Structure 1
Amino acid sequence: MVAQLKAAAARASGPAAPEADAAASQAGTTSMGRMDFANILKSSLDSVSDQQQQAGQLSKAYSMGDNSVNLSDVMIAGQKANIALQTTIQVRNKLVTAYTEIMNMQV
């Protein structure tokens, strides 16, 4: 999610490197080069959801006694999912704050 936001910022500020263009195309760039906010948001939320599901699957496999799953893998996946979720919550809070400020502006 952070990488997608950085790619969007780099794209908005001017010419970008080919690596940033590849990341931006995955993040939801339209054919005219504009960033589609809805696609970026959806892909970010899908990524967080995938991390949560992967952590849940690893945890379930470990608790059922699957010998191919290490406790360290379960803990790392859980922490990655937690960090992604906390980042998403913070971004949501910032968006709500920005929306509230815009709505309270005098015209």
Structure 2
Amino acid sequence: MSVSGVSNLNNVLQQLQSTAAQAGAKPTSAPTAAQKVNEGPDKVDFSNALVAAIDKIDSMKQSAVAQGHAFERGDAGVGINDVMVDMQKAGLAFEMGVQVRNRVVNAYKEIMNMQV
């Protein structure tokens, strides 16, 4: 996964926000601490979950790249098999993120096309 992949996901988020603003939706701000307390443990904010997932994907990529650099330097305890497995995990996580993004965009388009 490349840095451009994460920036692509951020671009999609910005596009979704701008489309929502054009549709007349009010942009939401980050919840305050008081609002989080009132939500309770069962409620999850979608935007926070999405940002956490993107951060997780990015950290997997950074970890795989760091392990690749450690292998290139010849650090003890870093095998090529570990590097390849971590690179594949990061790649699959990125692909999953892209698929989730595609489904969210499709769902949003369907909702926007509904007649009320």
Give the aligned partner of residue 54 of structure 2. Answer: 45
Aligned mates of 1:74, 1:87 — CA distance in 2: 20
Aligned-pair distance for 1:40? Answer: 1.1
Aligned mates of 1:34, 1:58 — CA distance in 2: 36
Letter in 2 for 1:96: V
Aligned partner (choices 42, 66, 89) of residue 33 of structure 1: 42
Aligned-pair distance for 1:32? Answer: 5.2
Letter in 2 for 1:62: F
Normalised to the residue count of structure 1, the TM-score between the two structures is 0.67
Give the aligned partner of residue 9 of structure 2. Answer: none
Aligned partner (choices 95, 99, 102) of residue 108 of structure 2: 99
Q: For structure 2, list consecutive stretches of 5 or more residues without a partner in the other structure.
A: 1-38
Letter in 2 for 1:97: N
Aligned residue pair count: 78
Aligned partner (choices 39, 47, 64) of residue 73 of structure 2: 64
Aligned-pair distance for 1:65? Answer: 2.0
Aligned mates of 2:47, 2:103 — CA distance in 1: 16
Residue 81, structure 1, aligned to residue 90, structure 2: yes
The residue matched to 1:56 in structure 2 has which SS? helix
Q: For structure 1, list consecutive stretches of 5 or more residues without a partner in the other structure.
A: 1-29
Normalised to the residue count of structure 2, the TM-score between the two structures is 0.62
Aligned-pair Cα RMSD in Å: 1.3
Runs of 4+ in 1 over 3 A off after TM superposition: none
% identical aligned pairs: 41
> Larger relative CO (CA 8 A, sep 6+): 1 or 2?
2
